[in-house]
């Protein structure tokens, strides 16, 4: 099974992808996570991507499609793939089609998480993660049970993304509207798009996704 999770920044794609990984042993292919890892490691791609990401603009199609191809090869043919934050442009959608076809994979579902953009700024600017295990938290909606200690791994260091500030978030949303939302009709024509209310409780969103993927 190969699925794309689509939706503006903060729609919950990463959270839902992680749940699918835990439940179904699928692989999460998040270009945002891969790029952040490249920035941290100071690789040539990371050096190129850093400033673009800090501005909330899109990294080049060639770079992201290249890393997706490498990840697909690394994960082997058996596990299902959840594309999270990719494709984000029409050119990427075309590249993905070819990357999948070349590996004998087909795209089963495109799930769009629909959200209220005004609420997203609050969601995004309040989020932080455990620096050790990556578990996500939120200033207002989900603090660690014991303040300063990760519920999952006991870690005591937390981090915030440098692009999760109000100004960059607005650029990221504008990029979504201008470049990513227009690829939906392409998938709609294939009859594989399902829209889910991403403003519902996280568990409800997960249940709706489960219904789609059966």
Residues serving a catalytic function are: 13, 88, 127, 161, 172
For ligand AMP, the binding residue among 32, 144, 155, 198 (CB under 6 A) is: 32
**Comparison of 163 and 208: residue with beta carbon closer to ligand AMP:** 163
Using Cβ positions, the residue closest to ligand AMP within the complex turns out to be 32
Q: Compute the least distance from the CB of residue 124 to ligand AMP, in Å.
A: 9
With beta carbons less than 8 A apart as the criterion, state whether 82 and 131 touch: no
Q: Which residues pair with 109 in a beta bridge?
A: 3
Q: Compute the least distance from the CB of residue 180 to ligand AMP, in Å.
A: 8
Binding mask 34-63 for ligand AMP (x = CB under 6 A): -x----------------xx--xxxx----
Q: Compute the least distance from the CB of residue 179 to ligand AMP, in Å.
A: 9
Q: Compute the least distance from the CB of residue 16 to ligand AMP, in Å.
A: 13
Instruction: Restricting to residues 90-149, name those near ligand AMP by CB under 6 A.
Output: 92
Size of the site for ligand AMP (CB under 6 A): 17
Q: Compute the least distance from the CB of residue 83 to ligand AMP, in Å.
A: 9
**Comparison of 88 and 191: residue with beta carbon closer to ligand AMP:** 88
Residue 176 touches ligand AMP, criterion: CB under 6 A: no
**Comparison of 11 and 209: residue with beta carbon closer to ligand AMP:** 11
Angle among Cα 93, 40, 171 to the nearest 5 degrees reads: 50
Dihedral sign from CA coordinates of 113, 164, 135, 3: positive
**Comparison of 148 and 173: residue with beta carbon closer to ligand AMP:** 173
**Exposed (0-12), middle (13-18) or buried (19+): which is 21, by Cβ within 10 Å?**
middle
CA distance 41 to 57: 21
Report the interface residues with ligand AMP, using CB under 6 A: 9, 31-32, 35, 52-53, 56-59, 64, 85-86, 88, 92, 163, 172
């Amino acid at each position: 099974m190969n699925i794309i999770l689509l939706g503006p920044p903060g729609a919950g794609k990463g959270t839902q992808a992680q749940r699918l990984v835990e439940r179904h042993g699928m692989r999460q292919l998040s270009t945002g996570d891969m790029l952040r890892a490249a920035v941290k490691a100071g690789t040539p791609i990371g050096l190129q991507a850093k400033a673009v990401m800090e501005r909330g603009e899109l990294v080049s199609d060639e770079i992201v499609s290249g890393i997706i191809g490498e990840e697909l090869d690394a994960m082997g043919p058996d596990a299902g793939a959840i594309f999270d934050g990719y494709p984000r442009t029409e050119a990427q959608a075309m590249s993905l089609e070819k990357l999948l076809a070349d590996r004998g994979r087909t795209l089963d579902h495109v799930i769009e998480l629909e959200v209220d953009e005004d609420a997203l700024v609050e969601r995004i600017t309040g989020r932080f993660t455990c620096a050790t295990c990556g578990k996500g938290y939120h200033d207002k909606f989900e603090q660690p049970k014991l303040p300063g200690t990760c519920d999952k791994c006991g870690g005591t260091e937390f981090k915030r993304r440098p692009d999760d500030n109000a100004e960059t978030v607005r650029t990221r949303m504008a990029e979504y509207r201008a470049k990513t939302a227009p690829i939906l009709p392409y998938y709609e024509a294939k009859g594989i798009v399902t829209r889910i209310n991403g403003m519902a409780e996280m568990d409800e969103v997960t249940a709706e996704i489960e219904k789609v993927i059966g």
